[in-house]
Chains A and B, each alone.
Chain A
Amino acid sequence: MQFLRDLSSPSPYMPHGYCFLWNRGLTSLHVTSDLLIALSYLSIPFTLIYFVRKRRDLPFHWMFVCFAMFILACATHAMEVWTVWHADYWLSGSVKAITAFASVLTAILLVKLVPHALALPSPAALRLEIAERRRAEDALNLAKMELELRVNERTAGLKRVNEDLLGEIERRKQLEQTLKNSEEQLRLAQEASGLGVWDWDLRDDRTVWSAQHFRMFGLEPSLRRFDKLSLVTLVHREDRSDVRLAMREALRPGGTFNAEYRIQRQDGQLRWVMSRGQTHCDSTGQPVRMIGVTLDVTERRQTAEELRRSEERFRLLIEGIADYAIFSLDPAGFVTSWNIGAERIKGYKAQEIIGQHFSCFYTDEDLRKGAPAMALRKAAAEGRFENEGWRLRRDGSRFRANAILTSLHDQQGELIGFAKVTRDLTENRRAEEAVQAAHAELARVARATTLGELTASIAHEINQPLAAIINNANASIRILAGSTPDMAEVRQAVTEIAEAGTRTGEIVSRVRGLLKKSAPERHPLDINQVIREVLALIPNELEKQHVSLEVELVPTPPRVLMDRVQLQQVLLNLIMNGIEAMNVTFDRPRVLMIRSDARDSELEVMVKDSGSGLDPRHLPHIFDMFFTTKKSGMGMGLPISRSIIEAHSGRLWANSDRAIQGAAFHFSLPAIA
């Protein structure tokens, strides 16, 4: 710190110039000399550095750098000039010390360098060595040239040989390519056909297989050679003896190998293959070789098997049909097949009738008219002939039949026979009658189910005239009991009694046909389901009347508490009314629309037809008991329906505005909360 302060503080010493007593001559001498020395010293390191940079090959050139450093330090002579005027002796001393350090270091390094520097060859020694080397080099060059000459000679020879070789290789390559191409063609052909080729050398019992053959047997094609013994193990156990037999057959002179057999592949698959082979003999007639091909026929066999099964199924199906007589004829009309239905309807067993002429089913009148021959002619000409007429059973009895005769042709279009389907119409008619009876029974049952509700309506209908009868009778008694009875009044009263009595009698007789009441049960019902149940009963009716149906059901209808049968009856009633209302509709589509709708706490159902609507004069009466506009109507449907709906706290009403075209009946029922 003291030192630094001394360096920076104004000097307490005298400048050096005082030593020279500021003698002009002496001062200038020192100053000039010091400056020159400093400049000279400064120039030397630059010269050295320039030299070193130019001569990078110089040994110890780091030494030159040290010299440069040392000499640069010697530029402290400039300091001497400074101290002449300025007494900064600490600074100049310090500079001197740095110079001393650089000088000492350089001196030590120089001393250490001396032995190495001494080892450097002198220029004379170098020149001598260079001359010697040059001589040796010349000799070397000579030898090298000689060698090169010889090598060139050899290379030329080799080149020729090489060229010959390359030509040979090219030729071979071409040959190989040709061979490869033909092999490839063969392979592709084999693969395309799926054919596996085998070649059995009988002399050493060795077999060569093509790759395709290996693959077909589920084996790696790399095996290439295969012996007969293991081939046999691949053949399915049940087919081995057949294959062996075929081989023995093939080994006879001029023999061929021909076998279709199953193979059990190692991957577990069972495949059908077909092998064909030809035996070749030597000049002595001894078999020496058998060459052949193998083809996988699994798919073909499966197809054939499926076809056979499908035919079998179809045959069984036809044979099993009991409702129709289905049989086939040859082109001349002789029976060739016979099913159960034919046996049942016509009474002949298959073995009795096959081979007989089908004209035996015809009546004498038809035979005289030549009906059988005509039927065959027409069916052959038009492909199909249908007629209805009387036919004979085996026992001679007649039945009404509908028969369809269809001609059968082969692929070339040649007539190969006929298929005949006969239906017994009497049976049909009987079935229809049964259906009608069932319908009537259904209607009766339907009435029975509504009787419970009906009694209320009937009671009302009967009680009204009954009340009038009793009132009139009582009035008459009183009038007659008076002192001057009004006989005209009494006569009027009695006339009215008779009228009311007749009316009551009519109602009672109309009701008498109805059946017993069955106890209704109320359940939460899904209206859409009930609608669908009812719709399931009427498709036949709709079809018969050419009515199309439009149904719009609310997705999640609220449940209603009701008797299912009664609700069905109401719907059925309204639907049947709607259908009936349209049977005189010819100028527009007959559409029956059924819609369920949920509003507030009610469920509403609408049944609408596209008929002529309700007569405004009839409108007030349509819900009256026994009021009907139909010829065969009982006049009960709507009042029953209304009473059912009202019994379930609902409403039933009609809408016959001109705007809606047709009549719409609505009913609403309270939804279950």
Chain B
Amino acid sequence: MNEIPPVVFVVDDEAAVCISLKRLLRSVGLEAQTYPSAQEFLRSERPDAPGCLVLDVRLPGLSGLDLQQELRAAKINLPVIFVTGHGDIPMSVRAMKAGAVEFLTKPFREQDLLEAIQRGIELSRITRQNNAEIRTLQRRYASLTPREREIFPRVTGGLLNKQIAAQLGASEKTIKVHRGQVMQKMKAESLAHLIQMAEKLRLSSN
């Protein structure tokens, strides 16, 4: 898989913080894009690349926590690292529960931030990879006939051809043919592989 360079998004109303962060990230070879408010971030065209969001909790208008909610609601899967001038426990608990990677209090240790960013990017990569794989599997699944889609979850559910034939009222031989078609169309190397695919597609055996 070819690597797309990751991007770190920074949302902080304090210009000095934005500029210094951008400089720091560049010094470790990371691309950073900064925004002075949550609204500006939401409005912006963002590159399709793995990345993470470094977000100040206290922002004019939409707060950092609000922005996190907005992203979740829009199903934008971007790992969030919160930074705040002062943070209290309830605030950090709320942020972490909502899926934040890290909650850092300014001034943070460089190492903590960079580690969190690294983790965020990694998470982002995995998510992107999973998403790409699922999209491929979905495409393959779409090519199955209705009969094959009936057989697919029964096979991965561990039923024998004979049992499937009895359930669907067809001959064991016909089921065997369909089963070969499913394996072939889904590009499954083995039954175990097909079962993995079924899990990723969240297919139910019944």
Interface residues of A (CB under 8 A from B): 456, 459-472, 474-475, 478-479, 489, 492-493, 496, 499-500, 620
- What are 18 A-B contacts with C-beta separation under 8 Å? A459-B85, A460-B86, A461-B85, A463-B86, A463-B105, A463-B106, A464-B14, A467-B17, A468-B16, A469-B20, A470-B107, A471-B110, A474-B110, A478-B27, A479-B27, A489-B23, A492-B23, A493-B20
B106→A467 contact, CB < 8 A: yes
Q: Do the beta carbons of A468 and B86 come within 8 Å of each other?
A: no
Query: Do A471 and B85 touch across chains, with their CB atoms under 8 A apart?
Result: no
B60 touches A468 (CB 8 A): no
Instruction: Flag if A466 contacts B106 (CB, 8 Å).
Output: yes
How far in angstroms is the closest Cβ of chain A from B58?
7
A467→B107 contact, CB < 8 A: yes
Q: Please give me the residue from chain B that is nearest to A482 by CB atom.
A: B27
Chain A residues with CB under 8 Å of B17's CB are 464, 467-468, 471
New contact pairs (9) apart from A475-B27, A500-B16, CB-CB < 8 Å? A459-B86, A466-B106, A468-B16, A468-B20, A471-B110, A472-B20, A472-B23, A475-B20, A478-B27
Asked if B26 is an interface residue, CB under 8 A from chain A, the answer is yes
CB of B62 closer than 8 Å to a CB of A? no
Secondary structure call for the A interface:
helix
Q: Is there an interface contact between B14 and A468, defined as CB atoms closer than 8 Å?
A: yes
User: Which single residue of chain A is at the shortest CB-CB distance from B83?
Assistant: A467
**Contacting residues, chain B, for A464 (C-beta < 8 A):** 14, 16-17, 85, 106
Q: Quick one: CB contact mask for B108-133 with A, threshold 8 Å, 1 for yes?
A: 10100000000000000000000000
The answer to whether B168 has its CB under 8 Å from any CB of chain A is no
* Contact A471 B60, CB 8 Å, known A459-B86, A478-B28: no
- Residues of A close to B21: CB separation below 8 A: 471
Residues of chain B within 8 A of A479, CB atoms compared: 27
Question: Does B19 touch A at the CB level, under 8 Å?
Answer: yes
Give the size range of B's interface with the partner.
Answer: 20 to 34
Closest A-B pairs by Cβ, 4 of them: A460-B85, A471-B20, A478-B27, A468-B16
Q: List the interface of chain B (C-beta within 8 A of A).
A: 14, 16-17, 19-21, 23-24, 26-28, 58, 60, 83-86, 105-108, 110
Chain A contacts for B106, CB-based, 8 A: 463-464, 466-467
Given contacts A460-B85, A475-B26, contact A468 B58 (CB under 8 A): no
State the CA gap A475–B113 with chains docked (Å). Answer: 13
Query: Are B107 and A620 in touch, CB under 8 angstroms?
Result: no
Instruction: Report the separation of the CA atoms of residues A463 and B24 in the bound assembly, to the nearest whole angstrom.
Output: 17
B25–chain A nearest beta-carbon distance, Å: 8
> Which of A468, A489, A500 has the most C-beta atoms of chain B within 10 angstroms of its own C-beta?
A468
Q: What's the least CB distance linking B80 to chain A, in Å?
A: 17
CB distance from A463 to the nearest CB of B (A): 4
Instruction: Give the chain A neighbours of B24 by CB distance below 8 A.
Output: 471-472, 474-475, 478
Q: Among B23, B27, B58, B108, which residue has its beta carbon within 8 angstroms of that of A467?
A: B108
B11 to chain A, nearest CB (A): 14
Chain A contacts for B105, CB-based, 8 A? 463
* Whole-angstrom CA separation of A215 from B24 in the bound complex: 115
Give B60's nearest chain A residue, CB to CB. Answer: A620
A472 / chain B contacts, CB cutoff of 8 Å: 20, 23-24
How many Å from the CB of B112 to the closest CB on chain A?
A: 11
CA distance A462 to B14 in the complex (A): 12
Contacts of A478 in B (CB 8 A): 24, 27-28
Contact, CB under 8 Å: B27 / A456: no
Which residues of chain B are within 8 angstroms of A471 by Cβ–Cβ distance? 17, 20-21, 23-24, 110
CA distance A456 to B105 in the complex (A): 12
Residue contact B16 to A499, C-beta cutoff 8 Å? yes
Q: How far is the CB of A476 from chain B (nearest CB, A)?
A: 8
Residues of chain B lying within 8 A (CB to CB) of residue A493: 20, 23
Among A460, A463, A471, A478, residue most surrounded by chain B Cβ atoms (within 10 Å): A471
Query: Which A residues lie within 8 Å of B16 (CB)?
Result: 464-465, 468, 496, 499-500
CB-defined contacts of A461 to chain B, threshold 8 Å = 85
**In the assembly, what is the distance between CA of A466 and CA of B17, in Å?**
9
Give Cα distance in the complex from A461 to B28, angstroms: 27
Q: Is the CB of B20 within 8 A of A467?
A: yes
Looking at the assembled complex, report how far the CB atom of B104 sits from the nearest CB atom of chain A, in whole angstroms.
9
A460 partner residues in chain B, CB cutoff 8 A: 58, 84-86
Query: With A470-B110, A620-B60 given, is the CB distance from A456 to B20 under 8 Å?
Result: no
Complexed CA–CA distance, A459 and B87 (Å): 10
Chain A nearest CB, measured from B81 CB (Å) = 13
Known interface pairs A475-B27, A478-B27. Does A463 touch B20 (Cβ–Cβ under 8 Å)? no
Residue of B at shortest CB range from A465?
Answer: B16
Taken together as a complex, chains A and B put the C-alpha atoms of A467 and B21 apart, in Å, by 9
Closest to A457 in B: B86
Residues of A within 8 Å of B58, CB to CB, are 460
Chain A neighbourhood of B85, CB < 8 A: 459-464, 467
Query: If A461-B85, A463-B85, A479-B27 touch, does A468 touch B108 (CB 8 Å cutoff)?
Result: no
How long is the Cα–Cα vector from A463 to B20 in the complex, in angstroms?
13
Least Cβ distance of A314 to chain B in Å?
Answer: 66
Tell me which residues across on chain B come within 8 A of A462, comparing CB atoms. 85
Give the most central of B20, B83, B108: most A CB within 10 Å. Answer: B20
Q: Which residues of A contact B27 (CB under 8 A)?
A: 474-475, 478-479
Q: CA of A471 to CA of B14 in the docked complex: distance in angstroms?
A: 13
A599 to B12, CA, bound (A): 34
A475 near B23 with CB under 8 A, answer yes
Q: Given the complex of chains A and B, what is the CA–CA distance between A500 and B108 in angstroms?
A: 16
How many Å lie between the Cα of A465 and that of B15 in the bound state? Answer: 10
Q: Which B residues lie within 8 Å of A468 (CB)?
A: 14, 16-17, 19-20
Are A463 and B19 within 8 A (Cβ)? Answer: no
Across-interface contacts of B23 in A (CB, < 8 A):
471-472, 475, 489, 492-493
